[in-house]
Structure 1
Amino acid sequence: MMLMYSTTPVTVHNWLPGTANKDFISLQAAIEYAGEQGDELPAIEILIRTGNHRYVTIGGKQLADLIVRVCSSH
């Protein structure tokens, strides 16, 4: 998964009020961070910038499955 090691800016967006979003320089770092926020996982999405204010969004079960794959490989 080449995108995993990309330097495309990635944001972990948290929908919980009063919780700040966090920016990362790699998808892997964003996924690892999201995995550390397990209690808030239903309120988290990962936004990958694709240009012109467009994003690819990863959330829900797709994000949970990706966290398991990435974190179990360490």
Structure 2
Amino acid sequence: MRKLKTHYTGVEVMEYYQISERTLRYRLATLKKKYKGQPSLLSKQNNVWRIHNSIIEHFEPKRKRLD
């Protein structure tokens, strides 16, 4: 049985949702304001973002691809 991760890095979120770094930065800018007083959900340590798995759905692409 595999244990689920509690925190993801920015690179892992980009790979999981197939979004660009620019999109990640824009979403982080809005989420920083929303979760300002909650470092357990969204924090930056040693120049690496730590994103809690409960808020990871905010990084889902807004438009569906036509592939």
TM-score (norm: length of structure 1):
0.29
Structure holding more strand per residue: 1
Which one has more relative contact order, counting CA pairs under 8 Å at least 6 apart?
2
TM-score (norm: length of structure 2):
0.31
Structure holding more helix per residue: 1
Q: State the structure with more CA Rg.
A: 2
